[in-house]
Amino acid sequence: MSKDQAHFGDPCIHCGTPHDDVAPGPCSGVSLTQTHRELAELHASLKAHEEASAKESARLKGEIAKRRAVVNQVEAGLDAEKIALARTVLRVTDYSRGGSEKASARADAIRQLATGEPIRRFYGDLWHVAFGTKNYDRWDGQRCDVEYGYGPGHGSICFSIGLLPEVRKRDPKVLTPAETEAAVYYLTHLERIQAAEKAAIGADQ
């Protein structure tokens, strides 16, 4: 162990001297145990730094992808403002994973949004259930409309269209004309919109 070990920490973890009281020269309290303590603290500091850095990198990549998606949407001739407004009322998962009956779920959602009338009482009402499809046994994309907060009795949801929780709390349960137009637009162009989003994410891989 070197006798020229510098002070470390405030107060110093070796000799306990506060930073303001440290005299010039090496620390006189160095021991093997204290050096291991210093090593552990350095590892902890490095881990915290790397975790914070990774979190910030992920945040920045997400923000970059959002803006690239807008650019891609405009380049594809899509209306970025309507898409942004639609996302304030709708939650829609990946249409490409929806299977054989995904088109019926989208068509019913568009129909209810456009007419303001549910497809059928409760289990055909977007204000009470999400329209979607599920994978079950050997059936890829069986139509399955599920009450919010619940899952299917069998299988797993692979695609869904629903209203956001804060929207469903409205009284009366209505969308504004602008929200309705944006939501219908979003679902009508869903494949192109999601393709632009995936291209934006892929650009950073």
Q: Annotate 73-116 with DSSP letters as a single string.
A: HHHTT--HHHHHHHTTTEEE--GGGS-TTHHHHHHHHHHHHHHS
pTM of the predicted structure, to 2 decimals: 0.71
Say which residue, 21 or 162, is predicted with more confidence.
162
Longest dimension (CA), the chain: 83
Q: Where are the domains of the chain?
A: 80-188
At 203, the pLDDT band (50, 70, 90 cuts) reads low
Average pLDDT, the chain: 88
18-43 tens-digit pLDDT:
755 555 555 555 578 878 888 999 99
Percent of the chain with pLDDT over 70: 84
pLDDT at 17 over 90: no
At 1, the pLDDT band (50, 70, 90 cuts) reads very low
What number of other Cβ atoms are within 10 A of residue 129's Cβ? 21
